[in-house]
């Protein structure tokens, strides 16, 4: 019985770069072959797009004081542009301890990558790869709930029905036995949320009750949404700020009920473990817990049709200049693998 020929290791990769504000292109770059000890070569199957963050990066709007904190593994260039940026890659390991397995890593959009083994997370066979692209955003949602210290059955609202807002709603409903109210200004997005079949109550901003919630998550990405969130909570109510607003100025009305009702605004950001969990939970443990929540097929409804890697520059150009109604986007890389199409 003859052994199969050794797999050729590519020396060139293709990666998406933002070249100027609002414009990107696919570039070629050299891979470090042979693969160094302690590293694995990945053949990319999918990358995930984080619409809010990548839009601000692609428009060159990352504030100078945030650039060190916003840098991600394998990022190329700088936030002053050009830059290679992204933090969700799923690929098959060609060598190393996970050879033959599908793994997750934080990496920009690129068709082949060489990544330290310690940055790889093997993915269970029973989680469809497309659903696994939700992993970073679901981890953000989990960390935000940990930051909030939410306890059912306290009334809870979410301002902004984008991907992070809906993942917070999913976790609250399925893991915390809560009944979150979604407050969303866009009528198309409200219709999409109702079609998810999750049994969520969705209100437009004008319908949202004021002063009745114990907790509200702000995930709209708009300064006005933070005011809506603040107005929605009552005495000693807490607002968890999940949106990243970059340079966008925000004006809040703090002269009304804010002080005498002892309201709070707390920022939540995924790079740091939420304070209530920090002493006894590692980043790896948080990722593993997030994987458990990815078992739910309900999450498949959040993923829009995939984009091909070749069409990524045009898609991203459209993303930079408008706010998408769809929730989450994945990029596919040839060859097309059978597991990508399994339910």
Q: What rounded mean pLDDT belongs to the chain?
A: 93
- What is the spatial distance between Cα 132 and Cα 295, in angstroms, rounded to a whole number? 9
Average pLDDT over every residue of 214-229:
96
The answer to whether residue 53 scores a pLDDT higher than 80 is: yes
Q: What pTM value is reported for the model?
A: 0.93
* Residues sharing a CB contact under 8 Å with residue 8, sequence separation 6 or more, in sequence order: none
Could you list the beta-strand ranges (E) of the chain: 12-20, 23-30, 39-49, 76-77, 83-84, 89-93, 102-105, 112-116, 121-122, 156-159, 181-183, 201-203, 213-218, 233-241, 264-267, 307-308, 329-332
pLDDT tens for residues 258-288? Answer: 999 999 999 999 999 999 999 999 998 999 9
The answer to whether residue 1 scores a pLDDT higher than 50 is: no
Confidence of residue 20 (pLDDT cuts 50, 70, 90): very high
Confidence of residue 256 (pLDDT cuts 50, 70, 90): confident
Average pLDDT over every residue of 173-200:
96
């Amino acid at each position: 019985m003859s052994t199969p020929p050794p797999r050729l290791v590519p020396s060139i990769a293709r990666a998406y770069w933002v070249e100027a504000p609002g414009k990107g292109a696919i570039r070629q770059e050299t891979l470090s072959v042979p693969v160094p000890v302690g590293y694995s070569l990945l053949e990319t199957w999918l990358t995930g797009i984080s619409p809010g963050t990548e839009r601000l990066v692609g428009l060159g709007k990352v504030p100078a004081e945030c650039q060190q904190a916003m840098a991600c593994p394998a990022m190329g260039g700088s936030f002053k542009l050009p830059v290679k940026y992204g933090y969700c890659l799923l690929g098959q390991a060609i060598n190393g301890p996970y050879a033959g397995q599908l793994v997750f890593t934080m990496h920009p959009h690129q068709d082949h990558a060489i990544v330290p083994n310690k940055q790889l997370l093997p993915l269970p066979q029973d989680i469809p790869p497309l659903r696994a692209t939700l992993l970073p955003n679901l981890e953000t949602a989990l960390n935000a709930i940990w930051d909030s210290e939410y306890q059912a059955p306290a009334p809870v609202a979410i301002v902004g029905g984008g991907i992070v807002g809906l993942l917070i709603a999913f976790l609250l409903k399925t893991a915390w036995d809560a009944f979150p109210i979604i407050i969303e200004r866009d009528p198309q997005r409200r219709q999409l949320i109702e079609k998810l079949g999750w049994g969520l109550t969705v209100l437009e901003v004008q319908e949202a009750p004021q002063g009745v919630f114990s907790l509200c998550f702000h995930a709209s990405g708009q300064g006005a949404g933070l005011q809506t969130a603040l107005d929605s909570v009552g005495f000693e109510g807490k607002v968890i700020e999940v949106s990243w607003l970059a340079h966008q100025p925000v004006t809040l009305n703090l002269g009304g009920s804010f002080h005498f009702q002892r309201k709070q605004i707390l920022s939540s950001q995924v790079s740091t473990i939420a304070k209530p969990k920090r002493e006894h939970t590692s980043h790896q443990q948080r990722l593993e817990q997030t994987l458990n929540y990815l078992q739910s097929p309900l999450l498949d409804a959040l993923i829009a049709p995939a984009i091909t890697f070749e069409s990524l520059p045009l898609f991203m150009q459209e993303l930079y200049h408008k706010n998408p109604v769809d929730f989450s986007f994945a990029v596919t890389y040839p060859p097309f693998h059978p597991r990508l199409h399994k339910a």
